[in-house]
Structure 1
């Protein structure tokens, strides 16, 4: 069995109050009433024969329904999430209107053990967050990407 891997793009923009990042709230019934720990970098799984950068751009399109923005990618490295998945992320400076997002969907059995399936959005909402607000709601291990972006930004790069 190969290790599960995901790749994603973290959009950021500079505002008068500092950096903001675009995060997505995970869709589906398990996250409906959750805020802290339920926001994520738009990302998705890929196979070992697909370059991670290509997967990050493909997943951005699948999750948000929009073309990934052009821009100079900033490698933010990878983290290993508690479930064992390794996530690799790049940051790209770009602006995007969350109202333009048309999220992809996934199907799962719901309610559990009912034999019925239902469709849910991959991300049920997308929003810009300042870095401190983002740290409070993002999947815990993904906060490392916010720290790396802040470090990159403060280094004058």
Structure 2
């Protein structure tokens, strides 16, 4: 049986079967970067974005992919279309939040949808660790999270 894997770009953490995975540094960066991307990412790009100007970015990426798989499960990270991506059983929080916003933005706002929006807004408002915010590639993710917070705030305040 495959363990349940949850990637949170909001909290900047990874959970396996409900337990926080012991990821840090470049392995955590890799886990979050793959979650932020919406399509498979080549090992060359992973290496360049995450490890900068190493002599062998592709090799560095493969080493960290191996470490990530060892921690969250071999089947969680798959090769697809010439790159790496999460398998379909990995849940990514931002995708769920975006889906909620898309479903509710034009629908009649119920007490339940406003309560859910308040909960999500509180999670988004908690902020991300400074170390994560220092990663240059995370800036578009943070902008995406801020846009979602604005959408949720509008939902909460609508009559």
For normalisation by structure 1, the TM-score amounts to 0.28
The answer to which structure has the higher helix fraction is 2
TM-score by length of 2: 0.27
Relative contact order (alpha carbons < 8 A, sep ≥ 6): 1 or 2 greater? 1
Larger radius of gyration: 2
